[in-house]
Amino acid sequence: MPSGDLPSYVVYKDVTSIDGTESIYLDSSADNIARKISLTNFKQSIVGLDNRIVVTQANKETTLGGVIDSTKEYFLDGVIDMGSTQITVPVGGMTIKGYSFDISGLVSSADNYTMFVSESIDIGSGNILGADYYISVTGANSKVYEIYDATGFNAFEFARINYIDCTSLGDIYDYRQGLEDGTGRFGGSPSLTLHGLWRGGYRITTSIVRGLAGTMTAPLFKEGTLFQMNSRFLTDINCDLPTLAAFCDFNAANFPNPSTIQIKNAIFTRDGGSNAEDSNIFSNLNASDLPCDWDQNNGLPNTFVGGTTVFALEAATVINTQSVFEYANAAGFLGQELQHFEMTSQGYLRHLGNNPREFELSVSLNIEGNQNSECAIIFEKYDASTATASDLGYTLQERQINNFVGGRDIAFFFNLVGVTLDQNDELRLKISNTTGTQNLTVEALSFFRLQER
């Protein structure tokens, strides 16, 4: 009977050694037939772990400290004290797993030590993948990583990894993307520096930071040499920072694409206290910056994409032809609460971002003219992709200019409609006199506003 067909009632009878080969004897109570099966074959047929290398304290020099086989999974059978032994990640990459971050780990207290390295800068490393263990590198001037991507298209990805009391997490160069899922940073100064071009992004999710060293001043995520990330950096982290440390020191220039620093449903505290005005959480960024997209956070300002054009100083809009719309004029415009928008000198609102696209337009305008005349407003959209402008017919409103006692006769306009704007599109206000050619004046403090739907 093939070993794969062993009945469930097979029991161990004896273990011996025949001709130097470790063997196991099995007995079936059904037919009382003793069978001898090679222990190696038995393990392979039952467990099927041909591509796993088990790492122990006894063999760490020849496994993790030796030439890494990129086709194998390295499994940590408990906590491995690496001492000064380094793990050289080859061009083909490596995978490390453990039982859990309570049972399996890689530790070192050696000074001036780096745990994971590339063979050289020129050769570099491939994917670095890990799950279910912890890392503790505590020596002076020591760090966890000094890794260079061999091609610029590899991944740095970990699940359920804890960093305990680490002096530094070190440096990662030119990887395509990074992922942390369920990771933790506890104690020490676990700063990670990202260098070079990251063609993809970095996501750290369902992660927690607690109990960092009170003397820590470096940010958790640090801008390295020529750092640029072409996709998003996303986190929903639960992070308690020490007194002087930032979460990151990234600059807007590190992210060439809008809305790619995405902080969503995160919680930030410092020494246990929450302060959304703490400017050192993101030391070089504001929620309103074009790369920022911060929503539903606790202890951090949020991004509110949109802006307002205010008619600050009055000036007449010259009406050349009855019922023909002219661009609304003013002696001075004021842009307020502009986030991912800019206001042009003509009072137009230009969308600098690409997300969101859908906005709510709210209008509050007072227009002065001849009493009992009629005037109208309409908004024009300039489409940057086609370099054409067209009136948004659904924004058209007509009003009679009221005959008031006193020096001014005014028509009132209020509206609330939806508008879609892509990157570099503009929204422009136009007005017309539908009963004559008398000039019209938009009163001071009239405004129109865009905000995310």
- pLDDT score, position 28: 46
- pLDDT score, position 406: 75
Question: Can you give the length of the chain in residues?
Answer: 453
Q: Check pLDDT > 90 for residue 332.
A: yes
Q: Check pLDDT > 70 for residue 100.
A: yes
**Who has greater pLDDT, 33 or 334?**
334
Q: How far apart are CA 83 and CA 167, in angstroms?
A: 15
Q: What is the pTM of this model?
A: 0.84
Q: How far apart are CA 326 and CA 318, in angstroms?
A: 8
Mean pLDDT, rounded, of the chain: 91
List of residues 6+ apart from 128 with CB closer than 8 A: 89, 93, 94, 116, 147, 154, 155, 156, 157
List of residues 6+ apart from 390 with CB closer than 8 A: 380, 381, 383
Q: What band does 49 get if pLDDT is binned at 50, 70 and 90?
A: confident
Q: Classify strands 184-186 and 155-164 as parallel, antiparallel or unpaired.
A: parallel
- pLDDT score, position 17: 39
Q: Check pLDDT > 80 for residue 378.
A: yes
What integer is the mean pLDDT of 246-250? 98
Q: Check pLDDT > 60 for residue 24.
A: no
Q: Check pLDDT > 60 for residue 13.
A: no
List of residues 6+ apart from 189 with CB closer than 8 A: 166, 167, 168, 212, 213, 215, 216, 218, 245
Q: How far apart are CA 249 and CA 207, in angstroms?
A: 19
Q: How far apart are CA 293 and CA 290, in angstroms?
A: 8
Q: Check pLDDT > 80 for residue 6.
A: no
Q: What band does 31 get if pLDDT is binned at 50, 70 and 90?
A: very low
- pLDDT score, position 166: 98
Q: What band does 294 get if pLDDT is binned at 50, 70 and 90?
A: very high
Burial class from Cβ neighbours inside 10 Å (0-12, 13-18, 19+) for residue 88 reads middle
Q: Classify strands 388-400 and 177-181 as parallel, antiparallel or unpaired.
A: unpaired
- pLDDT score, position 340: 97
Q: How far apart are CA 260 and CA 233, in angstroms?
A: 6
Q: Check pLDDT > 90 for residue 12.
A: no
**Cα angle 188, 104, 45; round to 5:** 160
Q: Are 56 and 77 in contact (CB under 8 A)?
A: yes
Q: Check pLDDT > 70 for residue 10.
A: no
pLDDT above 70 covers a percentage of the chain that reads 89
- Residue corresponding to tokens 């491995």: 80
- pLDDT score, position 18: 35
Q: What band does 335 get if pLDDT is binned at 50, 70 and 90?
A: very high
pLDDT above 90 covers a percentage of the chain that reads 87
Q: What band does 48 get if pLDDT is binned at 50, 70 and 90?
A: low
- pLDDT score, position 34: 39
Q: How far apart are CA 110 and CA 112, in angstroms?
A: 7
Q: What band does 107 get if pLDDT is binned at 50, 70 and 90?
A: very high
Lowest mean pLDDT among 39-43, 214-218, 396-400: 39-43
Q: Which has the closest alpha carbon to 384: 420, 338, 423? A: 423
What integer is the mean pLDDT of 254-267? 97
Q: What band does 405 get if pLDDT is binned at 50, 70 and 90?
A: confident
List of residues 6+ apart from 417 with CB closer than 8 A: 360, 361, 394, 395
- pLDDT score, position 5: 45
What integer is the mean pLDDT of 411-418? 97
Burial class from Cβ neighbours inside 10 Å (0-12, 13-18, 19+) for residue 76 reads buried
What integer is the mean pLDDT of 336-357? 96
Lowest mean pLDDT among 11-15, 295-299, 441-445: 11-15
Write out the H or E segment, with its range, that includes residue 105.
strand 105-108
- pLDDT score, position 47: 52
What integer is the mean pLDDT of 8-35? 41
Q: Check pLDDT > 50 for residue 37.
A: no
